[in-house]
Amino acid sequence: MKPKIVVKNLTKYFGDKKVLDEISFEVYEGEIFGLLGHNGAGKTTTLRILTGIIEEYTGYVEINGKIGYLPEERGLYRDEKVVDVLKFFGELAGMERGEIAKSIDYWLNKLKISNYKNSKIKELSKGNQQKVQFIVSVIHNPDIVILDEPFSGLDVVNVKLLRDIIFELKNEGKTVILSTHQLEKIEKLCDRVLILKKGKAVHYGKIENICRKMAYIEYLDNGKLIKKEMPYEDAILILKEKSEDIVKFEVRYSLEEIFLDE
């Protein structure tokens, strides 16, 4: 199947500064793809190139589908009503009126903010404003959804809500690319990831292939509760030796380690 996104040898300078250095990756239909890296690694620049906001670069970029985009810098018309803002973006995307109205109700309900349909943006909490902004990125039923730091500013409940929605998008066959510097948010979410470090791609692939397999284990040692994260192979030995004293055993893929290593 033709990839939804193909990027080859993408290089970008801002002035003399090289912020992307020969980045290559592909994103396939129906996958959740994570762009990871510390602040300044080049995630936002990559996403802005994919969405066409940045037009000057060298390398090859191919996009096969309709894009929806949640930018990192949020900002909606504060004095406007939620419904009017969403209508505006629906029209901008070339949707028909009836279609827009249906999509607005569907998404407000899904994000549990139907009550705020007629509120002004400025009357909403930051998290709810962010949900409206998310709706802007999906209102026109795009097949590629690009989310720049989608979880920042959301509380635990809403992080879960958004994760569930991202999984649903995937199950509908949509392609999702998201960026984050918060590793714990994506370890179980992304099918594959690209890890950027100072503009270079340092890892690319399935999390389980690029991370070390670890285990978190809690066990009783002479009545004392021991809690440890350790390499999976070591944990298996303890699991065998102390099978009766194990309180908890979880397999983890430590992306954190990769980040610290680099």
Ligand X SMILES: Nc1ncnc2c1ncn2[C@@H]1O[C@H](COP(=O)(O)OP(=O)(O)OP(=O)(O)O)[C@@H](O)[C@H]1O
Write out the residues near ligand X by the rule CB under 6 A: 14, 19, 37, 39-45, 72, 181
Give the up-direction half-sphere exposure of residue 85: CA atoms within 13 A in the CB hemisphere: 25
Min CB(54)–ligand X separation in Å: 8
Residue type, 124: L
Min CB(152)–ligand X separation in Å: 9
Q: Is 242 exposed, middle or buried (0-12, 13-18, 19+ CB in 10 A)?
A: middle
Choose between 75 and 173: whose C-beta lies nearer to ligand X: 75
Q: Of 111, 260, 256, whose CA–CA distance to 185 is shortest?
A: 256
Choose between 18 and 110: whose C-beta lies nearer to ligand X: 18
Between CA 234 and CA 238 the distance in angstroms is 7
Place of tokens 């994919």: 50
Helix axes of 82-92 and 97-110: crossing angle, nearest 10 degrees: 130
Min CB(146)–ligand X separation in Å: 13
Choose between 54 and 246: whose C-beta lies nearer to ligand X: 54
Choose between 44 and 133: whose C-beta lies nearer to ligand X: 44
Min CB(15)–ligand X separation in Å: 7
